[in-house]
Structures are given as structure tokens and as C-alpha cells.
Amino acid sequence: MKKVVKFGGSSLADSEQFKKAAAIIRAEDSRVYAVPSAPGKRFSGDRKVTDLLLDAYAAAADGKSFDGILGKIEARYKEICEGLGIGDFDLGSDFAEIAGSLKENPKRDFTASRGEYLNGKILARCLGWEFIDAKDVIFFDEDGRFDPEKTNSVLKARLDKTPQAVIPGFYGCAADGSVKTFSRGGSDITGSIVARAANADVYENWTDVSGFMVADPRIVNDPQSIDVITYRELRELSYMGASVLHEEAIFPVRKAGIPINIRNTNDPAAPGTWIVESTAHQPKFTITGIAGKKDFCSVLISKALMNSEIGFYERVANAFADNGISIEHMPSGIDTMTVVVHESEFLEKEQRVISELNRRCHPDNIEIDSDLALIAVVGRGMKNTRGTAGRIFSALAHAHVNVRMIDQGSSELNIIIAVANDDFETAIRAIYDIFVTTQL
């Protein structure tokens, strides 16, 4: 058994958290490769080290002094090292290098990456493991995109020679040899890349929650957790705003058939959530999860006999695409179709799109509706359960929520419902209650 463990920023925010992470790693011999984030927030209102580094970069790029910010960052690492009993571990030359680069030629990605780099060095020292700089093993191509195959072969060869190692998250090497970061939260991607190259049995992703919840805890009080979720279900939920893991983190491990186990550093005994390719494991409830987003508009286009008109859909889609607006959903009726778009993208171009639609499609009528929220009810169990949609709609009717639109994905993995923005929270609670609370 071989495991790759990734620890998020809150799991390494200070020396106390660091100790918990180290104890988790030491608790199992199978945990052989560790991927740290930079120190995160220690309390609400605190700043992440990555944000402080970006502040230092912004100050330097503006020609302002960054010494105060760098001092704060240095103090955070000093506390970590002293708390871990390795106060003699000297990071002075690393800080001199960061300061030197900020002074002479400030580089955003290099600066932002130092949070992970320093945490990686400390964790390696604390565990007595080898430190592998991500810059030597993770690569981006000429277009700035992550290069999975080059990375996999170089990293695999390196790990084959290194039985235990710490590889910092979040960054790698650009085609010109400079440091380049992934988007924010990108250490999740590094963990996944390392798990694939190591051919690990499990990718453990340690964070500050015990896995995924059936619904957003800010909306539903103390929601149930999800034991097992498939990659496809997760994609649907994260697309609709549920976030625990970086969206791109599933691709490397999914390709290699490695499950991800989301775990809680502050509650290591909790089993967390398993993310798997497919499973015979029956979900606890008919639905796996509910997620949603506010602020959409719908454009209802009516035209008699539209479905016998060749190319009608394409002309509609192009009226949006040519104005740079991405289409979220497109449910259709016999003589009607609805295009759902993000309000923020649509509003300023609204009249241009309408005149394009009139010019290209000659519809009988166009109606716009705004302030809509979309809710996705996701579950692999829905396909084989009768009456799921019926239960959703009767729950919403009982909660006095008017359903403005329905779209069932062809995968039968999700049902998407549009409601007024103001009904969003009520609708999510009603759906949660009918599928979860009443089943407990």
C-alpha cells in the first residue's frame, strides 16, 4: 500500500497544525510522499502566507517597500520551526533570495510559490525525508499549460529512486525555466500529479472539513457528509459551486484509477469522503448532493415550427457566442427554447444579443427573465429510483417555491432547477429535508 498525502494551508498554518500533519504522516508507513500547501489562515480574519507573498510582490512591482510584509512572513516560519523544535533550521538564505528577487526583478509566480517551497523544506526536515523541488519535476509547456506526460515521466523516475519525499504544491517549471504556479488552490493538483506518478493506491487530501457535505453548511444546518462520491457526481457539484477540492485536481488520478480520500486534519479518525471512478456502494440517500449558484438570466425564444428549421439552434447559440457569452443550459420545448446565461456576462450585452437573435432567427417572441438561481440535485442513485423528480417538486411546492425551469441532464445523474434568487436557500433546505432529514 502506497499513499500520497496532501495537506492544505489550514493544516499547516502554524506549528500546532504542523505537528498534527506530521503525526498523521508518521501514523502509517504507507504514507510515503507528502505535498504541502503554504501556511493558511490561523483564525478568521488572518491572512494566508500566499496572500502576504502576493502583497510583497505587488509592493515591489510598484517600487514600494516590502520589508514589513516579508518580516511578517518570516515570523510565521520562525514560529513553525521553533514550535517543531527545529528552531536552528536556517531559512535565512531563502529569505535573502526572495528579497533579492523582489528588489531586482520581481516575479509574481516565483514570489507566490515560496510559501509552498518553504513549507516543503520544513516538513522534509521535520520528517527526515528528502525534499524534491517541484521546479525540477513538474513542467508547463510553451503555451503555459501543464505538461502531463513530461511531468509524469520525469517525476516517476525521480520517485522510483526516492522512497519517501516531500514535494511542495502549487508550482512547477515553465518552458523558459522560470517558476510557474497553477491557479489558486493548485496544491490539490500537485498532490494528484504525484499520486499518479507514484502509482499510489490512494491520494489522501487532508483539509479542515471531514469531506464533502450533502449541502452547503452555510445554508443547511449541520448537513450529513458524503461517504462515497463518483468523479462525475463531483464534477456536477463542483461546477455548481461546491468547493473543497480544486476543479482540475481530479484529472491526473482519475486517469490512473486512483481514488481520492478527503480527510480532516483536526479529526483524523473521521473516514472522510471517498472520490472514486465508479462504485457498487449504495449511496446513503437517493441523492448524493445539492449545490447551486445565484444570478442567472434566462432568454426564452419562441417560434412556431422551430424544430423543423435546420440550423436554428446553431444560429441561436452563435448569437451568444459571437458576443462572448457562454451558455450555461439550453432546455427546449416544441416551439420554444430557453438559453440560460450568467447575469454578469449578459446584462451589458443584452440588447446586442437580442437584436442578433432577431436578425438571425426571426423568432415570434423573446422573453427575458432575470435574478434566477440554478440548483443541481445530483445523485447516481436517482436513475434507479422512481419519483425523484416528483419528490423534489412536491417539496418545493410545500415550501412555496415556484420552479421557473427544469432541466434533467441526459446522464440522469442530475436534475437542474431554476428558482428565483430569493427562493434559493429555501429551495435547497426543502430538497435537503425531503431526501435527507426525513430519511434519518
Q: Would you count residue 209 as binding ligand ASP (CB under 6 A)?
A: no
Nearer to ligand ASP, 169 or 223 (CB): 169
Sign of CA dihedral 316, 345, 239, 237: negative
The phi, psi pair for 330, rounded to 5°, reads: -145, 65
Under a CB-based contact definition with an 8 Å cutoff, are residues 260 and 192 in contact? yes
Record the cell numbers describing residue 370, joined without a space: 432575470
How many chain residues bind ligand ASP (CB under 6 A)?
13
- Give the range of 83-91, 183-191, 193-201, 298-306 binding ligand ASP by CB under 6 A: 183-191
Give CA 118 to chain center in angstroms.
Answer: 24
Pick from 184, 352, 359, 398: which binds ligand ASP (CB under 6 A)?
A: 184
Q: Would you count residue 168 as binding ligand ASP (CB under 6 A)?
A: no
Count CB-CB contacts under 10 A for residue 380: 23
Pick from 31, 48, 121, 391: which binds ligand ASP (CB under 6 A)?
A: 48
The CB-of-319 to ligand ASP minimum distance in angstroms stands at 37
Provide the β-strand partners of residue 329.
Answer: 340
- Give the range of 152-160, 186-194, 236-244, 275-283 binding ligand ASP by CB under 6 A: 186-194
Give CA 215 to chain center in angstroms.
Answer: 16
Closest-by-Cβ residue to ligand ASP is 187
Under a CB-based contact definition with an 8 Å cutoff, are residues 94 and 116 in contact? no
Among 15, 102, 10, 7, residue whose Cα is nearest residue 61: 102
Q: Would you count residue 186 as binding ligand ASP (CB under 6 A)?
A: yes
Helix 15-27 and helix 108-127, axial crossing angle in degrees, nearest 10: 60
Among 378, 388, 379, 375, residue whose Cα is nearest residue 426: 375
d(CA 54, CA 77): 17
Nearer to ligand ASP, 53 or 339 (CB): 53
Nearer to ligand ASP, 169 or 283 (CB): 169
- Give the range of 157-165, 185-193, 202-210, 271-279 binding ligand ASP by CB under 6 A: 185-193
The CB-of-112 to ligand ASP minimum distance in angstroms stands at 7
Nearer to ligand ASP, 48 or 263 (CB): 48
36-50 b/e with 16+ CB inside 10 Å = b?
A: bbbbbebeeeebbbb
Q: Would you count residue 38 as binding ligand ASP (CB under 6 A)?
A: yes
Q: Would you count residue 36 as binding ligand ASP (CB under 6 A)?
A: no
d(CA 128, CA 126): 6
Q: Which of residues 97-156 bind ligand ASP (CB under 6 A)?
A: 115
Pick from 106, 120, 168, 169: which binds ligand ASP (CB under 6 A)?
A: 169
The CB-of-170 to ligand ASP minimum distance in angstroms stands at 4
Q: Would you count residue 185 as binding ligand ASP (CB under 6 A)?
A: yes
Residues in CB range of 387: below 8 A, 6 or more apart: none
Q: Would you count residue 187 as binding ligand ASP (CB under 6 A)?
A: yes
Q: Would you count residue 5 as binding ligand ASP (CB under 6 A)?
A: no
Nearer to ligand ASP, 106 or 169 (CB): 169
Give CA 325 to chain center in angstroms.
Answer: 23
Binding stretches for ligand ASP (CB under 6 A) = 9, 37-38, 48, 50, 115, 169-170, 184-188
